[in-house]
Chains A and B, each alone.
Chain A
Amino acid sequence: MVRVRKNLIPYMFLIIPLIIYLVWVIGPMFYTFYLSLTDWDGLTTPTFIGLQNYQKLFEDKVFYISLFNNLKWLVSFITIPVVLGLALAMVLNRAIPGEKFFKMSFFMPMVLAMVVSGLIWGWMFHPAGGLINNFLVATGIMEKGPGWLSDRDLVLWSIILVATWRQVGYVMVLYLAGLKSINPQLLDAATVDGATGWQTFWRIILPLLMPVTVIVIVISVIDSLRAFDLVSVMTRGGPANASSVLANFMYIESFNNYKMGYGASIAVILFFLSLIFIFIYLWRVMKDELEY
């Protein structure tokens, strides 16, 4: 009797969150899968059309542009903010004068509404009157600053820059929390043993931060594939779809063009793309986890 009950305990802990999750998230998720097989304008009843949306999608050049943009975003997100965020967390983890101010400053971009961030950066990127170009011209680096948001080759990277500006604080917060759970006695022992700062970092801290790093990588992949707000606010995917990303593409198709079925198919592709990345990564990582 006791053994049976003991086996049920984890399920009892999980039952409420699981039910809520199934109803509000997983259910709509499967409904979205179903929608991707239909033609629906959001008002009338959907008509089943099988895989036609996907056929259309694979012939749509905007889809491929969006896909590659997301991949560029992904590569950027799993490198720069992770390194910078970790560095900041390491530096700010000590009793450094003004640490609260520093932490708040780097976290501030995340707190500011995306719309306003996009707005402000739009002014900074302004070709004629913007801060960045004014700086470049004034210091003589360039004669005329480029059109950051109107140049097809530069626009995506400009937006990624803004996204990184926001993301670093986020990663920093995650690593700060992770650093707090490292036993300082381990670090003291290492110092006593004569380990240098770098060795302590590489051999002790980083491995102990592995669970956090897993979180950070997964989050970065997900966020880069789901990126939407900044693109929507700053360029709406323009100029001429140069900065289009999958989520924005999906949004325009669903809510602007009333093609909810087609939009759903884009979401499904996004979903499976993320799934592949995440699950392979997690599976490998979790294999090495100690069993409790």
Chain B
Amino acid sequence: MNNKSIWALFSLFALAALALTSCAQPTPETIIETVVVTEVVEIEGETIIETQIVETTKEVEVPVEKQVLIYNSYMSDPDPRAADAEVVTMFSEANPDIEVLHSTVAHEDFKQAIRAYLTASTPPDVLTWFAGNRARFFIDNDQLMDISDLWASEGWNESYPKGFQAMSTVDGNQYFLPTSWYWWAVYYRISIFEELGLEEPTTWEEFIAVNEALKEAGYTPIAIGTKYRWTAAAWFDYLNMRINGPEFHVDLMLCKESYDDPRVAQVFEVWRELLDSGYFIDDAAAYSWSEALEPFIRGDAAMYLMGDFIRDSLPDEIEEDLGFFRFPIIDPNVPIGEDAPTDGFFIAANSQNVEAAKRFMAYLGSVEYQTYFAETLNRLPTNFDVDKSIFTESQQEGLELIEGADFVAQFYDRDTTPEMADEGMNAFMAFWDDPDSIDGLLADLEAARLEICAPE
């Protein structure tokens, strides 16, 4: 009995080993050969030499020389992933001499794996990544390839708005290619607003009034799931930008301002008003952002501060009932800042297939790719040469929202260092749980900031 099982295991092992060692079959290629056939024929004593030219086709096994391109992507959400695969197919068809080895990695895992990718002796050539501080970190450590030549040769310096150029440039050189972005706004259920005769609020007073009306009517005014914290960070971003202006907000992100500044405290005071008035859903910390969508979908909650990707998680009928408006203005004298997280690509500094990588990047920055991506996914392209008439109504609205802003930020956890983001988001959660503790929290945050952002 035990012998049998051991043999079984060994044969499994052998099979596995065989599978491992089986080599890839070379691709057969059809070659047309021209053959000269000489026939010597003897007819009635006379030797006639007949020469024929014959064309034969032979199947010859010739390994096809292809350039290899290793492309690793974190687009694991279902729709972007399908679009991504489609893009690789389209590129491969247009460039038959490049073989793209495409690997999609779960989004969260990619963030851990990227460090292994970049320091390996055979890294992926092209990778997806975020703009903002996250890219900056790798640029500062010489992990990204300088692609200024690509920016110049593809004319992106002209077709990409200055903002996107700026976020890809360090010390005058471009390292990053931003390709898609989306906006954040307060999304709401049109039907509920119509039922109560509410209009989209533009000022803070109007916003509070809307909240009150919703609450009176028995609705939960604002849905939010803070289990993973970043949804709370969104509220911080917007309240800070509306009260203190985007410049202060960005300086705070870059560690140039203090967390115990009274301006920061004011953000939390306003936030507290919302909490105390009971406008947010109960037990927000128990829900992930998508779990908190349930009341929104069911029609129990009316509003949700979220990025445009909220659509991907909504059933179609709800999506049709979806509207959005700019986060209300608190101080009309303050410039308008918006969060518009941007994704893009870069080439690893020690990529082994630079030429193929640059051709792929050129494609990714092109109008053709960006049009496809924008059409399929409702994101906005970075290449402004893309024909705007292809945008859906909501895309147009979103574009106007951002164009009407004075400043664009990336989002709290992309704008500041990961460590500070962690501290900050933990503080937001602690504040949400116990608003009275805010003074202690801000003092702790400031201490953390001093330590984390210590001047080099």
Contact = CB atoms under 8 A, between A and B. Distances in A.
- Chains A and B touch (C-beta atoms under 8 A apart): yes
A13 B285 CA distance: 55
B422 A256 contact: yes
Interface string B415-455: 00111001000100110010000000000000000000000
A127 to B, nearest CB: 5
B384 interface: no
A147 B422 contact: no
B119 A43 contact: yes
Nearest to B419: A257
Contact of B141 (A41, A239, A257, A259): A41
A258 B419 contact: yes
Specify the main secondary structure of chain B where it touches its partner. helix
B267 interface: no
Contact of B143 (A43, A150, A238, A259): A43
A132 to B, nearest CB: 13
B227 to A, nearest CB: 8
Given A150-B283, A150-B286, A238-B229, A43 B426 contact: no
Interface in A143-174: 147, 149-150, 152
B422 A44 contact: no
Interface in B290-336: 291
A43 B115 contact: yes
Most buried by A among B137, B143, B227, B229: B227
B228 interface: yes
B21 interface: no
B391 interface: no
A241 B426 contact: yes
Contacts of A256: 418-419, 422
Interface in B221-261: 227-229
A127 B422 CA distance: 25
Given A238-B429, A239-B429, A239-B433, A255 B283 contact: no
A149 B229 CA distance: 14
A240 B441 CA distance: 11
A138 interface: no
A29 interface: no
A4 B163 CA distance: 77
B141 A128 contact: no
A252 interface: yes
Given A236-B228, A240-B429, A258 B137 contact: yes
Most buried by B among A44, A127, A239: A239
Contacts of B137: 258
Contacts, number: 55
B190 to A, nearest CB: 26
A50 B433 CA distance: 38
Given A240-B429, A241-B426, A127 B283 contact: yes
Given A43-B143, A255-B112, A256-B418, A128 B283 contact: yes
A29 to B, nearest CB: 19
Given A238-B229, A257-B422, A258-B418, A127 B286 contact: yes
Interface string A211-253: 0000000000000000000000001101111000000000010
A43 B283 contact: no
A44 B118 CA distance: 11
Interface size class on chain B is: 20 to 34
Contacts of A258: 137, 418-419
B138 A43 contact: yes
A207 interface: no
Contacts of B138: 43
Contacts of A152: 433
Contact of A240 (B228, B418, B419, B430): B430
A42 interface: yes
Contacts of B282: 128
Contacts of A236: 228
Contact of B285 (A239, A241, A257): A239
Contacts of A41: 141
Interface string A87-127: 00000000000000000000000000000000000000011
Nearest to A126: B286
Interface in B196-232: 227-229
A126 B285 CA distance: 11
A44 B137 CA distance: 11
A265 B111 CA distance: 22
Most buried by B among A44, A127, A128, A240: A240
Interface in A177-235: 235
A147 B118 CA distance: 42
A43 B143 CA distance: 8
Most buried by B among A41, A128, A147, A255: A128
B429 to A, nearest CB: 6
B141 A43 contact: yes
A278 B407 CA distance: 58
A80 B281 CA distance: 37
A44 B115 CA distance: 11
B217 to A, nearest CB: 21
Interface in A34-60: 41-44
Contacts of B426: 238, 240-241
B454 to A, nearest CB: 11
Contacts of A149: 286
A43 B118 contact: yes
Contacts of B429: 238-240
B286 A147 contact: yes
B430 A252 contact: no
A240 B286 contact: no
Given A43-B143, A238-B229, 9 more contacts: A41-B141, A43-B119, A126-B286, A127-B286, A150-B283, A239-B430, A252-B422, A256-B418, A258-B419
Which 7 A-B residue pairings sit nearest by Cβ, starting from the closest? A257-B419, A150-B285, A150-B286, A240-B430, A43-B141, A42-B115, A127-B286
8 contacts: A43-B138, A44-B141, A147-B283, A239-B433, A255-B112, A257-B419, A258-B419, A259-B419
Interface of A: 41-44, 126-128, 147, 149-150, 152, 235-236, 238-241, 252, 255-259
